[in-house]
Amino acid sequence: MTFVRRSRLARRLSLHVHAMSRLSALLFGAALTLALAGCGSTPTPTYNLSAPSGFTAGGSGNAQMVVVAPNALAVLNTDKVMVEPGPGQVAYLSDAQWSDTLPALLQARTIQAFENASKLRRVARPGDGVNADYQLVIDIRTFALRITDQGPVAVVELSAKLIGTQSGRILAAQVFKAAVPAASTAGPVATAALDSAQEQVLVQMVRWASAKF
C-alpha cells in the first residue's frame, strides 16, 4: 500500500510540474509577444520651438538678468501638444510632442531670444552663477491649438514680470499674446503655427523688457 501511495504521489507531482512548465512557457511567450509589439510601434514625432532672431531691442547693455523656468498648470507642464476642442476642454495631439516639457523648452528659447536681440550684458538661468540685476518670471497662460468656428488657431499667451533682484519688487508686468491660424490639426501644421505664435510673443517680450533696463 505504501508503494502504491508513493507512486500516485509521484505521478501527481509529475503532472503538477508539467502543468507549471507549460504555464511558464505560455507566460514567457505572451511577454515576448508584447515586447516585440512594443518594439514595432511607431514613435510619436517630436517637434521643437524656435528662438526669434533678426530683430532689434533697446537697453543700455549694462544689466544682467536671469530667466526663471516658466510657471504652468499641470495640463501644460508636459511635452504633449495641447488642444482646446471647446471652452473648458483639454486634449492632446496624438501625432506630435515637444522635444522637452513646455516650461523647460520655453525657458531656453526665451534666453536665446534675449541673447539674439537684447543689449543686456548677460542672460542666464538661476543657478548659473550670474549676479543678476533682474529676474524675469513668466506664467504660461495659454499654449494650445484652439478649435474655433473659423478653424484651428494656435494661441500663445504669456504673463511676464520683471523683478528687481535686490529689492524683490515687481518693476514692470505685462501680458503678451499672439494667435496664428493653422490649416489643420495635423502635428506638423499645428506645431508650426504654435512655434510662429510663440516667436511673436517672445519678440514682444524682449522689446518690452529691454526698454526697462
User: What CATH number does residue 56 fall under?
Assistant: 3.40.50.10610
Domain hosting residue 21, numbered range: 1-41
- For the question of whether the overall pTM of this predicted structure is more than 0.75, the answer is yes
Question: Same domain for 77 and 122?
Answer: yes
Question: Same domain for 85 and 105?
Answer: yes
Question: Same domain for 126 and 184?
Answer: yes
Rounded-to-integer distance, Cα 36 and Cα 28, Å: 12
Question: Same domain for 83 and 28?
Answer: no
Question: Same domain for 168 and 77?
Answer: yes
Grid cell, residue 171, equals 518693476
Query: Which residues, in sequence order, are CB contacts of 65 under 8 Å at separation 6+?
Result: 114, 120, 122, 123, 124, 132, 133, 134, 135, 136, 209, 213
**How many folded domains does the chain comprise?**
2
Question: Same domain for 84 and 160?
Answer: yes
Q: What are the φ and ψ backbone dihedral angles of 86, each rounded to 5 degrees?
A: -165, 175
Query: Which residues, in sequence order, are CB contacts of 22 under 8 Å at separation 6+?
Result: none
Question: Same domain for 64 and 168?
Answer: yes
Question: Same domain for 19 and 85?
Answer: no
In tens, the pLDDT along 38-97 reads 445 789 999 999 999 988 887 666 789 999 999 999 999 999 999 999 999 999 999 999
Question: Same domain for 172 and 101?
Answer: yes
In tens, the pLDDT along 148-178 reads 999 999 999 999 999 999 999 999 999 999 9
Question: Same domain for 89 and 123?
Answer: yes
pLDDT of residue 37: 39
Question: Same domain for 10 and 65?
Answer: no
Question: Same domain for 74 and 171?
Answer: yes
